A and B are shown apart, each in its own frame.
Chain A
């Protein structure tokens, strides 16, 4: 059982605070929570909303059906009222003077004023909603008191919540609590925590929505974690700094969105030819150019795979959900270190900004197999940074830490010493050395996640943050009697082909589901396997695909192909 609430208003009306408070309370009651944000690229006015789903089972996606709406302005009512399910409510302040079938017009502002706290109108509304869902005052009061003084959250006004609580009677059965300890976080925080768990010591970035939250989180915690968080003058500086820090011996990362990633491209190749480990996060938003700054898309897959002139090994990993983002970010550092390559993490606005509950994240700090040598046994000044090896990996030393060993690295083609060369023999030897690392990388690949019915003749293919919506879509389809299986890719480059080879030949309907307009995963799969898709579900309006939309799209694709 789950419910879906929408909180809407103009920017600057305190929506964000209220959303955080409501989800914090719901989580503490013990529910699974899933919150998405829809905000415009402006600081005041406009129409912003968040949707909070809560229930007794893990929630994986936004839903368009609403149980209730809290409308802080008339526009919210106008835009969202039609999505309210039968028996639902639209809570407004009576002062807005609105009437209508589902309307619940209450004296929110008057109650707040009566308490001498006109700002606490949100807390009154909070009380109303919690009461409607049958949450008892006693546990609620304990939770509210527990929230006081939490530094990342302006705590609700307990008296105002109580006032709101008294305005209504319970209407809905509360879901039963999940019964397990949960963490709640968004995709940005998951990436930042994954990086810290990988012992990242250096993060440079230039602010760009929707990637900035990673930098903000790291900056908030830089003192206790002992990390450099540097706001660079531009993305070119950011990535070149990260490369310099990594060369100098720490794990380093940069993060941005598509526009900033464009500026980073030359240095991506620098990481490739210098063989300096690097993790680059691209939190996708709709492009081209500035596009839709605060919205979501998955249209940088091809770009991430091909970014940069010349040929060099790299990995591209799409993050699938919050827990996956934590784990994969950590893994990215290990892979970057082991193969001395750039690893690109693809997130998107939906994943970055969606907060959801997950089972407790495990604490596991890795510094990975770093292939860092102390050059022991070497004669003085005989260390070769780019010594030719069978697996293509040349052990690194940290500059300054091994007496009488020095190294030179060069973005020009170079010999084993890192000195510029132009001979064709040495060029080919070095290019081959770098590409031999691909064999090792292929051995590390994780096959896509498989969901659903292994016998189904319909196979869905998706990647990255669609994992969540796909989970719900697959079970809806199976419930509706349309058996489907689904492959959800995390590792995308090199493309793992085991599952594809196993499942594509058996699939009558092959439908790719992507948050872009051209079907970038489909083209990649065709390129690597020679197999084409038979249908597609694509969305590129900047709004996240919901499970219901996926179900409708898949049904249509199956029918039109049959």
Chain B
């Protein structure tokens, strides 16, 4: 039995390095939930495993920290059966694009109404600095001493190509914009991806705060987020200039729009109907 029993839900103590970009993301998430005036019990924040994936521990809402790479499946399922919940996934780039890459593809296809915030530090933080799917080719790590030999993945291009309805990029160092992107993503009806550039002080010495700061710029009104080809070209911008903001936004039918039998009373509140089961049994005669 724990020695001291706290009388009230106390947020977990953060296990992040001082100065980590995760703090900025957490602050923006708190600000977004405040601004949306969502009651804590109606919010579910889901993570996998990793440094970023600890976010559910630190937020005043329901939290689900599952397995590495497996944040999306439980998140969509929770939303399917309990749609009154606002479901948000906060997890890492390795979790979302590496171990969980297959779920990423198919969660986009499914288009369940959840928001997916990827803390993209372009590195595996928790396991101490191996290449992630978004690590640049040639970047040296302990496990890639000759430099990462693979191409980095472009999650925004991939999401757009897969048909995602909301695709945005944020930066942990631009908190106002990030809060705004989170609010819009949560409000968006459908799957919404925000890939968030996040400096990892300890293990990514290339993509530092200064590195990002020098390159990022906010998309302005000249960018039309309803235009897919414009979004695709913005998604390819990387290197000297990196755009931040909503690259693409267009609503599409939800998974549940195709399943009218799930409309009305949420599954979590339904009661079994003996007549229906009896009819199935009668059919066996």
Which residues in A have some Cβ–Cβ distance to B below 8 Å?
152, 181-185, 189, 193, 196-197, 199, 201-202, 204, 221-228, 230, 232-234, 236-238, 240-245, 247-250, 252, 266-267, 270, 274, 360-361, 363, 365, 367, 379-383, 388, 398-412, 415-420, 425-426, 429
Q: Which of B1-29 contact A (CB under 8 A)?
A: 1-3, 5-10, 12, 15
Given contacts A267-B70, A363-B277, A429-B1, contact A406 B40 (CB under 8 A): yes
Q: Would you call B73 and A232 a contact (CB within 8 A)?
A: yes
Q: Which of B46-85 contact A (CB under 8 A)?
A: 46, 49, 54, 56-57, 60-67, 70, 72-82, 84-85
Given contacts A201-B270, A419-B12, contact A379 B40 (CB under 8 A): no
- Pull 11 A–B residue pairs with CB atoms less than 8 Å apart, ordered by A: A182-B285, A232-B73, A244-B75, A248-B85, A399-B85, A400-B41, A400-B44, A404-B40, A409-B63, A417-B12, A426-B2
Please indicate the chain A residues that have their CB under 8 angstroms from the CB of B49 in the complex: 411-412
Instruction: For the complex formed, measure the closest distance between the CB of A250 and the CB atoms of chain B, giving whole angstroms.
Output: 5
Given contacts A234-B102, A237-B102, contact A247 B1 (CB under 8 A): no
Q: Would you call A225 and B276 a contact (CB within 8 A)?
A: yes
User: Residue B267 at the A interface, CB < 8 A?
Assistant: yes
Contact with A along B253-276 (1 / 0, CB 8 A): 000000101100001101011101
Nearest-neighbor residue (CB-CB) of B6 within chain A: A417
User: Residue B105 at the A interface, CB < 8 A?
Assistant: yes
Q: Would you call B280 and A248 a contact (CB within 8 A)?
A: no
Instruction: For the complex formed, measure the closest distance between the CB of A184 and the CB atoms of chain B, giving whole angstroms.
Output: 6
- How far apart are the CA atoms of A441 and B184 in the complex, in Å? 47
Q: Would you call B80 and A419 a contact (CB within 8 A)?
A: no
Q: Would you call B3 and A425 a contact (CB within 8 A)?
A: yes
Q: Would you call A248 and B60 a contact (CB within 8 A)?
A: no
Nearest-neighbor residue (CB-CB) of A249 within chain B: B268
User: Residue B213 at the A interface, CB < 8 A?
Assistant: no
- How far apart are the CA atoms of A401 and B269 in the complex, in Å? 10
Residue among B44, B62, B102 having the largest count of chain A Cβ atoms under 10 Å: B62
Please indicate the chain A residues that have their CB under 8 angstroms from the CB of B273 in the complex: 225-226
- How far apart are the CA atoms of A417 and B57 in the complex, in Å? 10
Q: Would you call A398 and B82 a contact (CB within 8 A)?
A: yes
Given contacts A241-B77, A406-B9, contact A193 B82 (CB under 8 A): no
Q: Would you call A400 and B62 a contact (CB within 8 A)?
A: yes
Nearest-neighbor residue (CB-CB) of A269 within chain B: B67
Please indicate the chain A residues that have their CB under 8 angstroms from the CB of B3 in the complex: 425
- How far apart are the CA atoms of A412 and B124 in the complex, in Å? 18
17 additional A-B residue pairs with CB within 8 Å, beyond A242-B77, A244-B76:
A181-B285, A183-B285, A201-B81, A225-B280, A226-B273, A228-B259, A230-B80, A244-B78, A248-B44, A252-B77, A266-B67, A270-B67, A400-B41, A400-B82, A406-B40, A409-B65, A411-B65
Please indicate the chain A residues that have their CB under 8 angstroms from the CB of B54 in the complex: 420
Instruction: For the complex formed, measure the closest distance between the CB of B205 and the CB atoms of chain A, giving whole angstroms.
Output: 27
Which residues in B have some Cβ–Cβ distance to A below 8 Å?
1-3, 5-10, 12, 15, 39-42, 44, 46, 49, 54, 56-57, 60-67, 70, 72-82, 84-85, 102-103, 105-106, 259, 261-262, 267-268, 270, 272-274, 276-281, 283-285
Q: Would you call A363 and B267 a contact (CB within 8 A)?
A: no
Given contacts A248-B82, A267-B67, A403-B41, contact A233 B2 (CB under 8 A): no
Given contacts A199-B272, A247-B74, A267-B70, contact A409 B57 (CB under 8 A): no
- How far apart are the CA atoms of A379 and B5 in the complex, in Å? 14
Please indicate the chain B residues that have their CB under 8 angstroms from the CB of A185 in the complex: 284
- The one of A227, A244, A383, A409 in contact with B73, judged by C-beta atoms closer than 8 angstroms, is A244
Instruction: For the complex formed, measure the closest distance between the CB of A471 and the CB atoms of chain B, giving whole angstroms.
Output: 22
Q: Would you call B277 and A365 a contact (CB within 8 A)?
A: yes
- Of all A-B residue pairs in the complex, the 4 with the closest CB atoms, nearest first, are A244-B74, A244-B77, A248-B78, A240-B73
Instruction: For the complex formed, measure the closest distance between the CB of B176 and the CB atoms of chain A, giving whole angstroms.
Output: 27
Q: Would you call B105 and A363 a contact (CB within 8 A)?
A: no
Nearest-neighbor residue (CB-CB) of B13 within chain A: A419
Q: Would you call A237 and B65 a contact (CB within 8 A)?
A: no
Q: Would you call B64 and A409 a contact (CB within 8 A)?
A: yes
Instruction: For the complex formed, measure the closest distance between the CB of A317 and the CB atoms of chain B, giving whole angstroms.
Output: 22
Q: Would you call A406 and B1 a contact (CB within 8 A)?
A: no
Residue among A238, A245, A267, A379 having the largest count of chain B Cβ atoms under 10 Å: A245
Given contacts A240-B70, A420-B57, A429-B2, contact A202 B272 (CB under 8 A): no
